[in-house]
């Protein structure tokens, strides 16, 4: 009889404490920002989420895996794995292939100035006005390819971005012999 009483007291004490404890700790939101800071911010949606912030939330709540971001590629996956202490996995091919950075290019003589691509561009990298010429600002463009689809006359093509006039290859040692 006393045993039951004791267990009851413990249970009540724990219940009281449980409902008065704090909800999501501030720690949680700060981490989401830190995850978001690692993503390439192309807002391209290739990871299946409408933009980088939603993808960061999904990662935080374990709904999304850390290898769904082709623009970020191996580098972002490694950084996310280090931050969250998870296994480094190769990029998931379902979401696309990792390739060199691409920049949109509007072919001036076909463009009819319909402003559809300006609306589609998530980072306002296309300058232009209705019925006037549109051009892509190369520094601002993140290569998310969202402007290619809405263009009625298909005048936007994705070109490989050449840095400072010469293509810098990272891993090329001077002469690799066998």
Partner 1 sequence: MNRELHSFPGGLQIPPHKELSNSKTSLITPLPERIILPLQQHIGSPAVPIVKTGEKVLKGQVIARASGYVSVPIHASTSGRIIDIGNYTVPDSLGLKAPCIVIEPDGDDAWFEIKPTRDYLSIDPKALQEVIREAGIVGLGGAGFPAHVKLNEGMENIVDTLIINGVECEPYISCDDRLIREKPGYIVNGARMIRHAVQAKHCVIALEEDMPEAYAALKELIDDDIELVQLPVKYPQGGERQLIKALTGKEVPSGGLPIHIGIVMHNVGTAAAAYRAVTRGEPLISRYITVSGEVKDPRNLQVLLGTPVKHCADQCGYEVKEGQAIILGGPMMGMYVNNMLMPVIKTTNCVLVTSTFNQQPEMPCIRCGQCAEVCPAELLPQQLYWYARAKNHDRLREYHLFDCIECGCCSYVCPSNIQLVQYYRKAKRQIMQDEQTMSGANRARQHFISRNDRLAREAQEQNEEMLAESETDETDKQSFIQAAVERTRAKRAQMKKPEKQQDHDE
Partner 2 sequence: MTEFILILFSAALVNNIIVLGIVGADPALAFMRRMDVATGLCLTMLVLLPLVAVAGYLIDTWLLLPLQLDYLQLLVFVSTIILITLLLKKYSRFLNQKLDARINVFLPFAGINTAVLGIMLLNLEFSNTFLKSLAFGIGTALGFSLVLLLMTAAVERLEVADVPSPFKGLPIILISLALISMAFMGFSGLILH
Partner 3 sequence: MTNEKIIISSPHMHAATSVNRVMTQVIYALIPGILLSVWFFGAGVLIQCLLAVLFALGIEALMLYLRKKSLGLYLYDGSAVVTALLFALCISPYTPVWVNFIGIGFAIIIAKHLYGGIGNNMFNPAMAGYVFVLLCFPVYMSAWPMPLDTTDQHSTFLQTLSIIFTGPSSVDNFDGLSGATILAYTKSQISGMAMVSEIRNSPLFGSFAGKGSEWIAIAWIAGGAWLLFQRIIKWQMPVFFIGTVFIISLLFYWYDSDIFLSPVTVIFTGGIMLAAFFIITDPVTASTTPFGKIIYVVGIGLLACIIRTWGAYPDGVAFAVLLMNAAVPLIDNYTRPRVFGEAKNG
Contact positions toward partner 2, by CB under 8 A?
2-3, 6-7, 10-11, 13-14, 17-18, 20-21, 25, 27, 82, 85, 87
- Alpha carbon separation from 138 to 35, 104, 106, 127, 142 (Å, rounded): 26, 8, 11, 11, 8
DSSP 8-state class, residue 69: -
**What string marks each residue from 116 to 155 as x (binds partner 3 by CB under 8 A) or -?**
----------------------------------------
How many C-beta atoms lie closer than 10 Å to residue 96's C-beta?
17
Q: Using CA atoms, how far apart are residues 66 and 77, in angstroms rounded to an integer?
A: 6
Smallest gap, in angstroms, from Cβ of residue 8 to partner 2? Answer: 11
Q: SS3 for 34?
A: helix
Residues 53-72 that bind partner 1 (CB under 8 A): none
Task: Judge whether 138 and 161 are in contact, CB under 8 Å.
Answer: yes
CB neighbours of residue 94 within 10 Å: 8
Nearer to partner 2, 65 or 148 (CB): 65
Give the nearer residue to partner 2 in terms of CB position, either 87 or 124.
87
Quick check: 173 binds partner 1 (CB under 8 A)?
yes
For residues 136-149, b (16+ Cβ closer than 10 Å) or e, as one string?
beeeebbbbbbbee
The footprint of partner 1 on residues 119-158 (CB under 8 A) is 122-125, 139-140, 142
CB 53, CB 34: distance < 8 Å: no
52 is a contact residue toward partner 1 (CB under 8 A)? yes
Binding string to partner 1 for residues 6 to 45, with x set by CB under 8 A, is what? ------------------------------xx-xxxxx--
The footprint of partner 3 (CB under 8 A) covers: 173-178
């Amino acid at each position: 009889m006393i045993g039951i009483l004791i267990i009851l007291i413990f249970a009540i004490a724990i219940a009281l404490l449980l409902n008065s404890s704090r909800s999501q700790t501030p720690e949680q939101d700060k981490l989401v920002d830190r995850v978001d800071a690692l993503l390439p911010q192309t807002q391209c949606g290739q990871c299946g989420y409408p933009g980088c912030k939603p993808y960061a939330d999904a990662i935080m709540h374990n709904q999304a895996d850390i290898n769904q971001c082709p623009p970020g590629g191996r580098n972002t996956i490694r950084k996310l794995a280090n931050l969250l202490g998870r296994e480094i996995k190769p990029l998931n091919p379902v979401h696309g292939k990792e390739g060199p950075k691409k920049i949109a290019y509007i072919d001036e003589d076909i463009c009819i100035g319909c402003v559809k691509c300006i609306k589609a561009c998530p980072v306002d990298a296309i300058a232009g006005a209705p019925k006037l010429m549109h051009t892509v600002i190369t520094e601002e463009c993140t290569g998310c390819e969202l402007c290619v689809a809405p263009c009625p006359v298909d005048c936007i093509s994705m070109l490989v971005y050449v840095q400072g006039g010469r293509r810098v290859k990272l891993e090329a040692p001077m002469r690799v012999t066998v």
